[in-house]
A and B are shown apart, each in its own frame.
Chain A
Amino acid sequence: MSELVKLGLKEAAEKVKAREVSSVELTQACLDRVQARNGDINAFVTVCSDKALEMAEASDQRVKEGKSRLIEGVPLGIKDLFCTEGVLTTASSHILDGFVPAYESTVTANLWKAGGVLLGKLNHDQFGMGTANENTHYGPVRNPWAMDYTPGGSSGGSVAAVADYQCMATTSTDTGGSSRQPAFMTGTVGIKPTYGRCSRWGVISYASSLDSPSVNARTVEDAALMLRAMAGFDPKDSTSADIEMDAFDEDLADLDVKGLKIGLPTEYIEVEGLDPRIKQTVLSTAKRFEEAGAEIIDVKFPLIEYAVPCYYIIAPAEAASNLARYDGMRYGLRVEGENLVDTYKKTRSAGFKLETKRRIMIGNYVLSSGYYDAYYLKAQKVRALIARDFQNALDKVDVILAPTAPTPPFKVGALTDPVQLYLQDIFTIPNSLAGLPAVAVPSGTVEEGGTTLPVGIQFIGKLFKEKDLLKVAYAHEQMTQFKPLELKG
């Protein structure tokens, strides 16, 4: 196996620009790796061999002409929720069978403008709905750390592909934790930027008031560079923010930990069901920062136990509305019925998996007359209170340190009860409701029945202050010296 696949995003782009390696060589190395591993890991649902090599050749040409771009020639994996012009886009569902978009999402268009190469489209829980990457038409993704474990979800393919050295960085989406929980499960980095930082135009919608195009990579610096290439104001998305953007990947080491104020929410680490090893991981992180001169400050989140129920009203309500468009008439699957309504029903029943159906049904329940005030309106009020708690906390501190998931990684098929699965997102949902950015970073490993598995923490930051947040994540990375999974296979 070519050692080229071990290069990170930043390093690979530098090498391509310096003509130490060509984009074609790099892309071929990743394609070979995907071919050798995809049968086991199942991270990719579509591999774009021809297109990737074509884009790589164009990249090499630009380098020759002295027209190199930010992430020149680096192969990237794209979650299959991002529309890619002329390339099959399925949302990992049966209902979008054969859907080849006639348009490119703004985020992916930005990546290609920055010199990126489309390696392929990544598996995930369909429409972003799931926490174990099992709610997919294309079969579960496996965790490269241990094949009988899940890489988490929904962005399981996005993390498995980078953890397994199949590409240098990937896009993901994060509605309630879908880039961070999988990052935690695979010893990789996941950034959920501020809501509005990355355009949602051309990203298949799940819950529009929460969906955040996100990033996965093996290091903080690479994830930061990827975010820089993806993000930016987009007039085509009415929720895109016209707010100045930093060069997220530069000067990451430029942080004086001395005097840094880190919020430690007692309610997060006292949550029932939190594995003591995860709690310890958070406390050790706090201690390391404290020893380096940071101030650890207690912050209050009295409503944490209500965040998941709040999310499971708002997200399904938005999902039920968004997914109403899949009617078998305009794109994808159609299963003929006896009449129009019967065709809708047969198409949707065959096209969605069970968890998707549950969320559509719940969404229609909480929006239906007689229940609207008790559920949907109530959830919007609780959301406001949760956002207020974050604002109060972030008035006092620079960042908040929190667990990413309540337990170490678990096995494929281990969790079947929906509510139990929903509670996996207890630590990632609250700041998503408030629109705040967060970054999940690995910390170390634990032993589970003789298997070594990664664990980590997350930092939550202020609106649009991703750069400050990433500096703290970078400092954490330097302190822990976490060793990613070794290249194997």
Chain B
Amino acid sequence: MSIDAKVIDKLAELSRLEFSADAKAEITGDLENIITFISKLSEVNTDGVQPMSSVMTSSIEGEVAYARERNDEVTEENNRESYQQTAPEADMGFYIVPRVVE
């Protein structure tokens, strides 16, 4: 399957990644091969099959269902200070980010 430069640019934008011209050529080739490979799935007949999004909630007959609900309660403590210690830049309880408003 061939992928045009527009698709790669769009994916890079969605992924918040950037590539040099050489790297772009390389990843385009890789993605073409990978997408051809995963496209094999179209051969499988899945008519009437319910999608399985989780092992725990799958509707396989007779299987152990172990998904559970929890009470809607706040259990987290306020750890702002300790969490912000790992930030590249934080001050007075705020994360400092590049200017977004001119």
Residues in chain A within 8 A of chain B (CB atoms): 98-103, 195-196, 209, 235-236, 238-239, 241-243, 303, 305-306, 308-310, 312-313, 320, 324, 327-334, 336-337, 339-341, 343-346, 348-349, 352, 354, 357-358, 360-362, 364-366, 368, 374-375, 377-385, 387-388, 391, 417-419, 422, 434-435, 463-464
Which chain B residues numbered 46 to 66 have a C-beta less than 8 Å away from chain A?
46, 49-56, 58, 60-64, 66
- Chain B residues, CB < 8 A from A236: 75
B27 touches A (CB below 8 Å): yes
Mask for B86-102, Cβ within 8 A of A = 1, else 0? 11110000010111100
Question: B17 contacts which of A243, A348, A435 (Cβ < 8 Å)?
Answer: A348
Provide a sorted-by-A list of 10 A–B residue pairs whose CB atoms are within 8 angstroms.
A236-B75, A239-B67, A306-B40, A306-B44, A331-B86, A332-B86, A361-B31, A362-B34, A365-B31, A391-B62
Known interface pairs A238-B70, A334-B88, A343-B98. Does A358 touch B44 (Cβ–Cβ under 8 Å)?
Answer: no
Question: Mostly helix, strand, loop or mixed at chain A's interface?
Answer: helix
Which chain B residues numbered 10 to 30 have a C-beta less than 8 Å away from chain A?
10-12, 14-19, 27, 30
Q: How many whole Å from A389's CB to the nearest CB in chain B?
A: 10
- Chain A residues, CB < 8 A from B49: 381, 384-385
Question: In the complex the two chains form, is A242's CB within 8 Å of B46's CB?
Answer: no
Question: Mostly helix, strand, loop or mixed at chain B's interface?
Answer: loop
Query: Smallest CB-CB separation from A311: which chain B residue?
Result: B38
Tell me the bound Cα distance from A377 to B47 in angstroms: 12
Known interface pairs A383-B52, A419-B34. Does A345 touch B41 (Cβ–Cβ under 8 Å)?
Answer: no
B2 touches A (CB below 8 Å): no
Tell me the bound Cα distance from A10 to B58 in angstroms: 37
Tell me the bound Cα distance from A38 to B37 in angstroms: 38
Tell me the bound Cα distance from A388 to B46 in angstroms: 12
Question: B15 contacts which of A238, A305, A339, A364 (Cβ < 8 Å)?
Answer: A364
Further pairs besides A209-B55, A331-B87, A361-B17: 8, Cβ < 8 Å? A312-B37, A334-B89, A365-B31, A378-B42, A380-B51, A381-B49, A383-B51, A384-B52
Number of chain B residues close to chain A: CB under 8 A: 58
Which of B38, B46, B100 has the most CB atoms of chain A within a 10 A radius of its CB? B38
Q: How many whole Å from B100's CB to the nearest CB in chain A?
A: 5
Tell me the bound Cα distance from A236 to B33 in angstroms: 40
Question: In the complex the two chains form, is A309's CB within 8 Å of B66's CB?
Answer: no
Interface contact tally, CB-CB below 8 A: 184
Query: Smallest CB-CB separation from B37: which chain A residue?
Result: A419
Question: B60 contacts which of A103, A327, A391 (Cβ < 8 Å)?
Answer: A391
Query: Smallest CB-CB separation from A85: which chain B residue?
Result: B82
Question: In the complex the two chains form, is A375's CB within 8 Å of B87's CB?
Answer: no
Q: How many whole Å from B96's CB to the nearest CB in chain A?
A: 8
Question: In the complex the two chains form, is B34's CB within 8 Å of A312's CB?
Answer: yes
Question: In the complex the two chains form, is A209's CB within 8 Å of B11's CB?
Answer: no
Question: In the complex the two chains form, is A362's CB within 8 Å of B31's CB?
Answer: yes
- Chain A residues, CB < 8 A from B66: 196, 241-243
Which of A235, A336, A435 has the most CB atoms of chain B within a 10 A radius of its CB? A435
Query: Smallest CB-CB separation from B85: which chain A residue?
Result: A102
Query: Smallest CB-CB separation from B84: which chain A residue?
Result: A330
Question: In the complex the two chains form, is A382's CB within 8 Å of B86's CB?
Answer: no
Question: In the complex the two chains form, is B98's CB within 8 Å of A340's CB?
Answer: yes
- Chain A residues, CB < 8 A from B85: 100, 102
Question: In the complex the two chains form, is B50's CB within 8 Å of A381's CB?
Answer: yes
Question: A368 contacts which of B14, B33, B41 (Cβ < 8 Å)?
Answer: B14
Question: B11 contacts which of A341, A361, A387 (Cβ < 8 Å)?
Answer: A361
Question: In the complex the two chains form, is B88's CB within 8 Å of A329's CB?
Answer: yes
Question: A364 contacts which of B11, B68, B70 (Cβ < 8 Å)?
Answer: B11
- Chain A residues, CB < 8 A from B41: 306, 309-310, 313, 375, 378-379, 382
Q: Which 8 A-B residue pairs are closest in the complex by CB-CB distance? A: A435-B55, A380-B51, A102-B82, A384-B52, A381-B46, A334-B88, A381-B49, A344-B16
